[in-house]
Amino acid sequence: MGDLLKQSTQTVLAYAGNGLLTLYFLVALVYLLAREKDKGNRSVLTVYPIAAIMLFFIPFTPYIICEKAGETETFYRFLWLIPMTTVSAYATILFLSKIKYKVLKFILCTVAMVCVAIGGNPGYQSPVMVPAENVYQIPQDVIDLCDYMIVPGREVECAFPFELTQYVRQYTAYVVLPYGYETLVERWRFTDDLSEEMFKDVSDAGNLASLLRENGCHYVVLNKDHVVDGDLEDYDYHLVYSTKQYLLYFDQKTDISVP
């Protein structure tokens, strides 16, 4: 039981980040317990969150989710059931609405916004988050590369570098990959020889070309900053297209015509 409680505690500590937003939520929850009079609002914004928190820490919950279901690494998602944002926002508005002096209200509103700002991290610090460049909200390079490769009436296969792999399927089903999301998540790491060669700091051109053909790849995309020992064109993978940051090579030994 002690290990299960430790599992819940460690999950909360990892989920809470620097702890400021969690503290803000707890203060807001206590405030609503004391000040909210509407029964419906109290049920949704106080009783339900408290019940969810209690259920999270009851050893039965991590036992079922972690021990029996084997979802230790996704256990933190249970915390998504707690409406932290809604409770914090509602309590803030309720508190500010009761202040008569506009200057004081403005100061406290500013303090609340600063707490929210410094309590989290900018989304673009994540390596998998990029500013939207198009309506698909994926890197424009992916769209340009796929548009070049797409052959109406058939699929083509292409090996993409790590940072673009997750976006291809969001744009088109006509460009398929020899490896996918399972190679990107550290806890899974279902790698094969090709993905390992692609993700090396320095790839061997001969070995890479051989593995690409073994996996039926018509194309391969390489980051211009990626170092390749040798020249892919010596192995009949010719440079056919490029974007600002990526190079697209086509296997001249393959046929992508529609049957």
- DSSP codes joined into one string, 104-160: HHHHHHHHHHHHHHHHS--GGGSTT-----STT-S-HHHHHHHHHH-BTTB-EEEE-
- Look at residue 243 and tell me whether its pLDDT is greater than 80: yes
pLDDT, tens only, 195-232: 889 988 999 999 999 999 999 999 999 999 999 999 99
pLDDT, tens only, 75-126: 888 899 999 999 999 999 999 999 989 999 999 999 999 999 898 877 777 7
Q: Which of 176, 178, 257 is nearest to 211 (CA)?
A: 178
- The pTM for the full model equals 0.64
3 state DSSP class of 228:
strand
